[in-house]
């Protein structure tokens, strides 16, 4: 593949590995973006649209999009702020996955109990910019200057080991489930920011002709994200119990009712939030046959 094969194509950056990669593949499939990625190649052509997918480290995507080298991208909200590209990209859509929090953590058995106790001490992190801004404000509040200000040191990974190794009094790191934090004997004392995966586009696009395709892809992804929140729930119920059933499962709009071959029975179909599916089974709803079907897209 050479530069000529990318000519005229919209470039869409996708995280090449990690926690966002698999979710992005589902988003692309739901938006009917068809492609075949060959082994060891980080660029592939979409089969049914004039698009090329570019697989990059999530931390690099804001820079590529912000500088206009790539038209669209998926990355973390935290990565955009850390790379200081928030003024150069537009966050088109929050995607609802990759949710986590950037938190200040200290040893659970230590003497530091609040973030104010950590001010002026040593902090290790992979998020040097965000941590520097956060503790810089606290240093200013406490009127610390020079060597007395909080010391922010960068490490590329295994941040949670820094306290145990004597490198830091506290750390700033992403927390998803909290398992790694607890396993390291740490606990969170403050949250710097909440983050999740976002769809971004450049504020200085190089190809205005791509605007309609960007809108098409953005709207499709919006539909996929919206659909992930809903499921179609269908069940059979005795007609004389239908009013009670509708009260329990009202759905989004008017109920859809279909007669069954069995006398006195109907099928009820509704679209509702996925998190409500389990409660449909709870008593006293009675004996009903329930089928759940995923929704592919919502407009």
Identify the structural domains of the chain with CATH numbers, from first to last. Answer: 3-99+196-227 (3.40.190.10), 100-195 (3.40.190.10), 230-294 (3.30.70.120)
Residue reference for tokens 């038209």: 71
pLDDT-above-70 percentage for the chain: 89
Q: What is the mean pLDDT of the chain?
A: 89
Contact 52, 12 (CB under 8 A): yes
Distance of alpha carbon 268 from the chain centroid: 34
Task: Report the candidate in 72, 41, 35, 67 with the shortest Cα–Cα distance to residue 55.
Answer: 41
Q: Output the pLDDT for position 231.
A: 77
Contact 101, 173 (CB under 8 A): no
Write the pLDDT tens digit of every residue in 110-155: 999 999 999 999 999 999 999 999 999 999 999 999 999 999 999 9
Residue 145: both structure tokens together: 């200057």
Core vs surface per residue 228-247: b (16+ CB within 10 A) or e? bebbebebbbeeeeeeebbe
Strand-pairing partners, residue 88, are: none
What DSSP string describes 18-42?
Answer: STTHHHHHHHHHHTT--B-PPTT-S
Residue 6 pLDDT > 90: no
Residues 6 or more apart whose CB falls under 8 angstroms from that of 195 comprise: 76, 77, 78, 98, 99, 100, 101, 102, 174
Residue, of 277 and 176, whose pLDDT is higher: 176
The gap between the terminal CA atoms of the chain, to the nearest Å, is 36
């Amino acid at each position: 593949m050479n530069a000529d094969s990318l000519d005229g194509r919209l470039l869409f950056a996708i995280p090449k590995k990690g926690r966002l990669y698999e979710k992005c593949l589902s988003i692309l499939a739901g938006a009917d973006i068809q492609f075949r990625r060959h082994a060891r190649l980080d660029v592939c052509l979409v089969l049914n649209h004039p698009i090329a997918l570019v697989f990059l480290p999530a931390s690099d995507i804001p820079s590529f999009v912000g500088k206009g080298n790539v038209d669209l991208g998926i990355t973390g909200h935290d990565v955009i702020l850390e790379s200081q590209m928030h003024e150069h990209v537009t966050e088109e859509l929050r995607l609802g996955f990759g949710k986590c929090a950037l938190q200040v953590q200290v040893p659970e058995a230590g003497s530091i109990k609040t973030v104010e106790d950590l001010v002026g001490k040593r902090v290790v992190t992979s998020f040097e910019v965000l941590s520097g801004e956060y503790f810089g404000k606290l240093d200013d509040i406490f009127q610390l200057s020079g060597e007395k200000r909080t010391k922010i040191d960068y490490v590329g990974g295994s941040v949670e080991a820094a306290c145990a190794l004597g490198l830091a009094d506290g750390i700033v790191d992403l927390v998803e489930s909290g398992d790694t934090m607890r396993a390291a004997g740490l606990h969170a004392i403050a949250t710097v920011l909440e983050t999740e995966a976002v769809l971004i586009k450049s504020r200085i696009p190089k190809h205005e002709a791509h605007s309609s395709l960007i809108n098409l892809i953005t709207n499709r992804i919006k539909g996929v994200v919206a659909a992930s929140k809903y499921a179609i729930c269908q069940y059979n119920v005795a007609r004389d119990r239908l009013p009670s059933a509708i009260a329990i499962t009202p759905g989004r709009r008017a109920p859809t009712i279909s007669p069954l071959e069995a006398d006195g029975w109907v099928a009820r179909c509704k679209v509702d939030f996925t998190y409500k599916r389990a409660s449909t089974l709870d008593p006293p709803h009675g004996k009903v046959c329930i089928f759940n079907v995923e929704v592919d897209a919502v407009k």
